[in-house]
Structures are given as structure tokens and as C-alpha cells.
Amino acid sequence: MEKAFAIAGMSKSSYYYRTRKGKPGAKPSHFTRLISGVGETSESNEQVVERIKDLLSGEFVDYGYHKVCGQLQLEGYVINHKKTYRLMRENKLLNPKNLRKGLPRNFVKYRVVKPTRPLEILEMDIKYVYVPGLGRNAFVLTIIDTFTRMVLGWKVGFSMTCMEVKQLWEAVIEEHLQGADLLARGLKVTVRSDNGAQFLAKIVREFLAHNHLLQENTHPYTPQENGHIESFHAILAKALDGYEFENLGHLEETLKDFYQFYNEQRIHSSICHLPPSIFWEAFENGLVQVLEGKKNMKYRLLEKRQHLLQKLTFR
């Protein structure tokens, strides 16, 4: 150091440290290395955040940033806990269980639902669908009416946040619930879901409560308490089997066709061997008798199936 001062012709006493503006240390990186079997690539921070969101959206996943970092490292990401913390903090992904402490969960009282009318008990859940063309999973959110088995709304995307759940419910309320005038008739609507982070988010729970919808959460490890939507997912998986989706648009168009077929044409054995839309209309026209069975509600058609469409068309 003294030699440097001598060469520069400066006095050591005249040299002072000048603080730099901004935060100390190296600037945050915008990419993260990813090591896989085919070699080494890099992903943007946005892509890493999407992977973290996918990880945290699992029903049984309740990770802090240390565990998220460990999982990312297992998948080949060259990342440390500090960067994981920064990405999660910037995107409000830290400590998701803290959201659950503010509003206590209302667990279901009855493991088997026995609805006696449409729009009495609704179930929602998310299913993963693999898109081979892009090498990643898409999320499919579905809301179903347990009485008619009718799909009231659905949404697909590479992310499924609490905001997107809220947006779908806004559409379902506008299209199905408002017209039914349930509040004026003194009829309650119960919404069942598992304990996914999107469903436990404060914004979703407050939105449902504000719209007079009672939210119930299933007990952990009990998919049978959400049995109708689980059964629907089995039907959906079978329908999509064999498809090689090129992109999200390809998947969305296929889902659009499937949901229309499911609601309007697919015969469902538990609702008098009718499609959900026709069963709903038959019930509204007094052509379905509701009977309580030992395990589930049963329905009897009061008109011969051969004459049903004519009755509904000209009634």
C-alpha cells in the first residue's frame, strides 16, 4: 500500500475511504444454474419462483425457505438458502403456514356429504396435468356441484395462486349463485376443499365469507371427504390419457371440449344415468325424487327416460 502511495505521489494521510452508494456486496444474480442428466443449463429467477410456487402448492407441503432450498438442490439447482430466502421474500412466499394462523380452519363435520338440492355443497380441487411439449405440469382447478355433479367452473394455467382461485369463484358466483337467489330463499352454500395453500389463503377465505359461502376443509390425509371432486379427477385423467399436449393452448382447448361433453352429454350412473345438465333441469321440473340411502343420497326418476327430453323441452 505504501509503495502505491509513493508511485502515485500521494500522502497516506490524505487518502480517505469514500462509502459507496447502494447495498454492499455483489449484486443479486438474475439466473440460477441447473444441473441435469443432459448437462448444465440456467433458469431465470422467474422460472425458479414458478418452481417454488409449484412446490408449495402441494397439499402436504408446508416448507420454509431452508426446506425449499433443499428440494431445489435435490432437483439440480445450484442455489443456497440465502438466494432462496430472497426469492421467496420478494414474491411473498415465506412462511405460508402463518396465513393459516390468522383464520382458524373449519374442518368438515361429516365425511360423506348428502346434498338434497343443487348448489348446497360445492367441492373444489386442483389436478396436475403434464404438458410434454414444454416438459412441465399445468394446474387444473375445478369447482363441482355435488348434487348434480355439474362442473360450475374451471381454470388452467402453469400457476394457480390464491388470486386465480378468487377469480374463478367470482365467475361461478356471477354465473350460477346470484341467479339462484339463495340468500333471499334462506339457502346456504358450503364449499369443501383440501388444505392446499391456495385455498387456505386469507384473500380466498375472506372472499368466500364475504359472499356468504361457508368454507370447510377436509381433515389431512382424507381424500374421501372430498370424494365427488376426487371421482371427477379420475374421470378427467382417463379422458386425457394418451394426449401429448404441445403447449398450454392445446391443453386448454382439449379441456374446453371435455368439460362441455362432461356437463352436457356424459352419462353419470349416480344421477339416474343422465348427464349433469339434464339431471339438474329434471330436478328443477319436479321429475326427480330424492331418497336418503345408508351412505349416499339416491335419486329416482319420476318419468321414463325415453320421454324425459320431450317433457323438459315442452314443459
Q: In the chain, which residues have pLDDT < 70?
A: 1, 5, 8, 10-26, 58-62, 95-104, 107-111, 294, 313-315
Parallel, antiparallel, or unpaired: how do β-strands 189-193 and 213-217 relate? Answer: parallel
- pLDDT computed for residue 5 by the predictor: 66
Give the right CATH number for 103-266 from 3.30.420.10, 3.50.50.60, 3.90.650.10, 3.40.50.720: 3.30.420.10
The span from the CA of 116 to the CA of 259, in Å, is 24
- The pTM of the full predicted model, rounded to 2 decimals, is 0.67
pLDDT at 96: 52
Cα 9 from Cα 101, distance rounded (Å): 65
What is the residue extent of each domain of the chain?
A: 29-96, 103-266, 267-315
DSSP E strand boundaries for the chain = 31-36, 39-44, 77-78, 121-131, 136-145, 151-157, 189-193, 213-217, 288-292, 297-301
Give me the sheet containing 31-36, strands edge to edge: 39-44, 31-36, 77-78
Q: Give residue 147's pLDDT.
A: 94
The answer to whether 185 and 118 are in contact (CB under 8 A) is: no
Q: Are residues 288 and 279 in contact, defined by beta-carbon separation less than 8 angstroms?
A: yes
Q: State residue 223's pLDDT score.
A: 76
Query: What confidence score (pLDDT) does residue 25 get?
Result: 54
